[in-house]
Structure 1
């Protein structure tokens, strides 16, 4: 999905498009890791995937999509299509997050989600990110990368379907993030007891 960096290409830390495309590559790799592992290794890889998808989508919804709506002609429609895809993916991911990764129903749902998420990532890269790169100054792209990193630090770590706008994320995000991070801490503490 992502290509090797060339000399002169934006670095992920300096450009929001490069940062998000790098994360798309990490998401792709985590799907493969979940698919090919078993037992505890699968559970751990899946939890990493859930967390990355949750913080990644929240940051896009808070920082990238609002900018894209007005940065280029047709931005509103492009963003709405991505938000619809994100909502559907969050619903599926939420269902999977409540399942045991050893459940026979888990893998077929995961593979379907993988196809949908990778298709969504390609659409973002082609229709949203490419236009942002063409219409947005390098300085603004760098500022957006910093804002995305900051948003990810405060983002929920589990999917919350129905919260796909910047306004909803800002309103509900801190409470959801606190609940998610508490849930993660308890889950990690319980692993130590087994």
Structure 2
């Protein structure tokens, strides 16, 4: 039986922007589930959210943001720098929430603050970065980049690592962090057998 959390192979017409928009919608759903649940359901939803956010941001840092920096008009660097600052802050908040766990005092407030920050960040990408990509990058390249994002996600860490926030940093230490994270996940998760 296929893993329900495993990303589907991008279809021939799926481009990187469509893929990231779908992930934004899934992230929003997971925030609702975390906020509205308790016990194991909340814990599982939070684990899924953490993994999706880590993979999503790693893929953006490795594939999308470097491309956005090259967009005509010279505004790409400032736009990306603003998104990276938002991502860094979200990673720090997420790291704090992970260390305390879903039952910690302050988790409810922290998850709402994180949700607001992440969704605001996503809206900025949707309003400023993604339209620029669609306007200036050929459609066939955007479709190819969907596969590149999937590949980046497959080797991404499963937890936030605020210190690795660039394509170079992710490529240099991301695979090692991903292995460490996946070993930790395997040790912590009871066997599904």
TM-score (norm 2): 0.91
Corresponding residue number in structure 1 for 2:30:
30
Corresponding residue number in structure 2 for 1:174:
175
Corresponding residue number in structure 2 for 1:186:
187
Q: Does the Cα contact within 8 Å between 2:159 and 2:181 map onto a contact in 1?
A: yes
What displacement does 1:163 show? 1.1
Equivalent residues in 2 for 1:42-191, closer than 5 Å: 42-73=42-73, 74-189=75-190
What displacement does 1:77 show? 0.6
Q: Identify unmatched segments of 5+ residues in structure 1.
A: 1-10
Q: State the Cα deviation string for residues 127-162 of structure 1 (Å, max 9, x = none).
A: 101100000101110111000001100000000012
What displacement does 1:110 show? 0.6
What displacement does 1:72 show? 2.9
Q: Distance in 2 between matches of 1:145 and 1:111?
A: 30
Q: 1:131 to 1:97 in 2, by over 3 A?
A: same
Q: Point out 4+ residue stretches in structure 1 off by more than 2 angstroms.
A: none
Q: Per the alignment, in what secondary structure is the counterpart of residue 189 of structure 2?
A: helix
What displacement does 1:14 show? 1.8
TM-score (norm 1): 0.90
Q: 1:18 to 1:46 in 2, by over 3 A?
A: same
For these two proteins, the number of residue pairs brought into alignment is: 181
Q: Distance in 2 between matches of 1:24 and 1:14?
A: 15
Q: Distance in 1 between matches of 2:72 and 2:29?
A: 31
CA RMSD of aligned residues (A): 1.4
Q: Per the alignment, in what secondary structure is the counterpart of residue 100 of structure 2?
A: coil
Q: Identify unmatched segments of 5+ residues in structure 2.
A: 1-10
Corresponding residue number in structure 1 for 2:4:
none
